[in-house]
A and B are shown apart, each in its own frame.
Chain A
């Protein structure tokens, strides 16, 4: 079958200040194919997609759609050319129904007729095998349903070139499979699908061709059938990378942190955490798996003393003094004063762990500024700590006086993890520490966590990539809707087993639970 060119980019460049986000990119996309866009963070793949979708305007170069030059100045222009993008962060109105969200912003001169829209949405959904109730309100939907609405929104506008930005990041393995099945159907229907992803095994399973990007440049496009994960990684990073995570057996295992019957209820009476009990052992990495928003954040914040009133007990066994301390109803300062060396790498790096507008030195100071009786802050020690972290973890930054928001995601995370580890913790909690990080940075972080484990730290790791969880963790605790649905051994479990536990509730799987807590 002869393939028809759908989208063609020639010499496209985009600069942010002096930095070239994209440099002279040529790219071809055919009708009826799934093209994976692969590359490390900051390699310009999202920028490129944003230019195709009309969010940015290219500084140089030309975009052709169906062989004709296209000027795409806005998402509206993009739709006029049949291009639609599904963003990583959903842009939906919570109190509207699926259908209402789908027609929002369409101005075709026709009268608003919701039942007609419902019917049309249903037709599109049935055609590709989506399961959706057009009248359901967004706030009652699970994450995967919301994603479905986003995809339908684009299809409804008649797009036949679809761009998906890391669509599987918020899904369970089972949901991802369903999504991929739908994408394959759309491909067979002649649509072109561009999918940005970090996960190599997904690239291998879904795509027809892979376009690899490095440092803003398009390195090559290869046929998926003729390549391997190792080769792709090498093209992406520019050198050979060892993709194995070292997992030494735990040593000197003893209970460090005991959580007993922990429950947390929000102001509206909804249980965010329901009777959680577990032990985090020293010298061990305890993984926490679950769909995003199942209570992971609340659990870690409760332990760190950020959640206000909780029910149940959190007990810390101090390895030095042998004393037993209760952490319940204590704030982070009180916890520190008890001599509990609890470090916490929160999910929201720039919104919680660090202050984006402050420089590296001031961010180091967050943990230590209050020490001593002086009225004035001491910037000397934080400065030398910042310099040490920059050197040891190879943080790419112009200097320690640069605001952290100017750093790339991986470097921000190195700064944060570096600071938390510098406090020589006995318990280290990390929530999604590799989210948005490139392969190299991710493995740096995994190695740092493993190193801490070897030092006898009780590490708690909240992750989303199940492949990593089963490779890195000694034990994996799965939670769903604020409840523990199982604790499995990291060495013997499978992704599928965890995936099933992730959606297991007492009353069988209920969709509306998934997006809760966010």
Chain B
């Protein structure tokens, strides 16, 4: 059994978990990661699409900061993404893996459209907006609440449940689209009623609303009893039981809130931007939001940055595809590469790589 001939080789490197890391160091690692990823992307762009790397980077940045219009579009897109990310954050903090934001937003949007469609002519715009808002909040909360009730009462798996609810939501939207379009074309034209008022700029109100929601979620999570309870439940259900927190109640309550904010996002999309609905109104942002929330480690204030960053990448990617006249696959790769570096660098924040000390000579 014993093998005396085992060659004596210290491994080239081994990985050690870091105890703590100063903030500047972790930020430096992140900056290096972004820089490295952009370097890789530029090199790839040279090889794959024969682009000038400087031009490539310029285009990426230009997509967001190139003009006032682009900056507004960027802010609006980031705000909507942030809103959805904020919505799922309390649930995620509770370790309730709500991947159903897509459906919850969509159902909120549908409720808003339905109110405008049926009640639009019978009430003034301000009253209609209130009704749309309330309907969106309630329907979003219901859509989020159903899986929560099943989880609390019967221990169903929330990931599958919320995912399935997305398909249900898009099915319902498809149903109403057929019902509402007399020709059966399923293309609903722009609604003439239920538009959010314009303050200075068409997007400004949405951005302000999302800032308010950001503050609300931040305060809710950090300073209220509800927020404290949901963190305890997320960290350890046993501890929650031990101090007498009603775990079921907290799960349902938090998901109602999560769904309600998703509903608000749906309302903002309908009343402030699209004024219509399709099955793809949310367009995957319910999933992108998970990444935004996670990258920010569920801190609503940091989420402003992560939402902005993800939006910046997406906007840059589509600009690259226009500018260099290529299809969207290369830009998608760019987004993927950058995110890979960002998420990958967390490894170096949590662990330290120790290389073989050169001073030690190798014994036979």
Contacts and interface: CB of A to CB of B under 8 A. Distances in A.
A355 interface: yes
Interface string A292-308: 00000000000011100
Contacts of B20: 17
Interface in A333-362: 333-336, 344, 346, 348, 350-358, 362
A291 B337 CA distance: 55
B228 A362 contact: yes
A241 interface: no
B11 A73 contact: yes
Interface string B193-207: 000000000000000
A82 B235 contact: no
B153 interface: no
Interface string A347-387: 01011111111100010011101100011110000000000
A375 B3 contact: no
B59 interface: no
A376 B1 contact: no
Interface stretch (B170-178, B238-246, B310-318): B238-246
B54 interface: no
Given A356-B235, A377-B223, A365 B10 contact: no
A73 B4 CA distance: 16
Contact of A71 (B4, B10, B224, B227): B10
Contacts of A355: 231-232, 235-236, 239
B225 interface: yes
B232 A333 contact: no
Given A71-B9, A357-B235, A377 B241 contact: no
A414 B238 CA distance: 20
B8 A71 contact: yes
Nearest to A59: B354
Q: How many residues of A sit at the interface, in one of the four size bands?
A: 35 or more
Contact of B225 (A17, A344, A358, A377): A377
B242 to A, nearest CB: 5
Contact of B8 (A69, A334, A356, A358): A69
B363 interface: yes
Q: How many residues of B sit at the interface, in one of the four size bands?
A: 35 or more
Nearest to A398: B20
A375 B225 contact: yes
Contacts of A71: 6, 8-11
B6 A70 contact: yes
A17 B18 contact: yes
A16 B17 contact: yes
Nearest to B362: A69
B16 A332 contact: no
B1 A82 contact: yes
A71 B16 CA distance: 17
B19 A353 contact: no
A351 B236 CA distance: 6
B232 A80 contact: no
Contacts of B235: 355-358
Interface of A: 15-19, 57, 59-60, 62, 65-66, 68-71, 73, 77, 79-82, 157-158, 304-306, 331-336, 344, 346, 348, 350-358, 362, 365-367, 369-370, 374-377
Given A16-B16, A306-B242, A376-B225, 5 more contacts: A17-B19, A68-B4, A306-B241, A357-B235, A376-B224
15 contacts: A70-B6, A77-B6, A81-B6, A306-B241, A355-B232, A355-B235, A356-B235, A356-B236, A358-B231, A358-B232, A366-B232, A375-B224, A376-B224, A377-B223, A377-B228
